[in-house]
Amino acid sequence: MSNFNTQIPKYVQIANRLRKKIEEMYKEGQEKFLSDDELIKMFDVSRMTIRQAVQLLVDEGLLNRIQGKGTFIVRKDKLKTDIAKLDNFFRGWYLKNFTVKLLYRGSVPCPEGIDEKLGVKPGEEVYQVKRLRLSEGIPVVIDNRYLLKKYGEQITDEEYINYSFSHLFLNKFNMALSEGEIEIEAVLASEEISNILGVSVGSPILYRSVDLKVKSDCVLTGASSYRGDMYKYKSVLSLE
C-alpha cells in the first residue's frame, strides 16, 4: 500500500487508517493487534514509520504495547469497582478473568508515615506485600500493602495469590475488617510503574491509598496503582 499523501507524514496517515482496523477488530472481540512485521508488509514502509504510527495510537489510548507479548487493543469497557460498601470493595479481588502474581513479600523497615498508622515504632520491621493483578493476561493493578509482621509472615504465597486480605484476616486470624478509608487521585506513571503495567512513562494512573481497620485499630495500609485506561470507580450518593 503506497498511495500516501506527500503533504502529510506517512506515520500519521497509517495511524488514521489503523483506527478503523482497531474498531473492526474490537467489535470482533479480538484483543491482540497486528504485529509490526504484519504492518510493515501491509503498508510497505520502514519499521521506524510503523513504530511511530503505533506509538501515536498508544498515546491516544487505543493500543497498548506489552514488552515481550505484543500490541493489544485497549478495552473500552473499563473494569469497575463499587466502593460504597466495604464488602463490595473486596469483590473487586474476585472479578472474572483476574489472575494474581506475587511480586514481593517480606520484612522491611517501616516507611515513614506507615509507622503511625500501624502503631509501630519508626524503623521497626513490618511486612510488605506487593501483588500484580492481571485481567485476561494484561497487567491492570499493582497492590502494595503493609501489615504487622506477626500477621504477614503467617500467610503463604498461595494464600496471597488467591485471596483478598479481608478473607485472610477473617479466616486465619478471626479478625473481621470492619472499617476502611480510601483516597483516590490521578497521577502519572513512574518508570517503575510503567515497566510493571506495560504503559508509557507519564501515562494516567489511578492511585488509591487505603487504610483498613479492625474496630478502631489499623491493621493494613498501603496503595494501589490502576491503569487509568482500564479501570473506573463507582459510588452511590445519598442525601440521607
Q: Exposed, middle or buried, 207 (CB in 10 Å: 0-12/13-18/19+)?
A: middle
Topology of domain 10-73, CATH: Arc Repressor Mutant, subunit A (1.10.10)
For the chain, which residues make up each domain, given as ranges? 10-73, 79-234
Cα–Cα distance list, 101 to 15, 104, 105, 121, 134 (Å)? 34, 9, 11, 31, 8
Fold match, 10-73 / 79-234: no
Q: Are 105 and 159 in contact (CB under 8 A)?
A: no
According to the model, what pLDDT value does residue 86 have?
Answer: 46
Task: Indicate whether 61 pLDDT > 80.
Answer: no
HSE of 67 in the Cβ direction (CA atoms, 13 Å)? 7
Q: Are 222 and 143 in contact (CB under 8 A)?
A: yes
Cα–Cα distance, 81 to 90 (Å, whole number): 9
Question: What does the CA dihedral 155, 157, 161, 162 come to, rounded to 10 degrees?
Answer: -60
Q: What is the pTM of this model?
A: 0.64
Q: Look at 98 and 212; give whichever has higher pLDDT.
A: 212
Task: Indicate whether 85 pLDDT > 80.
Answer: no
Q: Render pLDDT for 97-156 as a digit per residue (tens, 0 to 9).
A: 678 999 999 999 999 999 999 999 998 999 999 999 888 788 889 999 999 999 999 999
> pLDDT averaged over the chain?
84
User: What is 79-234's CATH number?
Assistant: 3.40.1410.10
Cα–Cα distance, 39 to 53 (Å, whole number): 10
Q: Render pLDDT for 223-238 as a digit per residue (tens, 0 to 9).
A: 999 888 776 666 655 5
φ and ψ at 119, to 5 degrees? 75, 35
Q: Look at 85 and 218; give whichever has higher pLDDT.
A: 218
Which grid cell sits at 136? Answer: 485476561
Q: Render pLDDT for 166-211 as a digit per residue (tens, 0 to 9).
A: 888 888 899 887 777 888 888 999 999 999 998 888 888 989 888 8
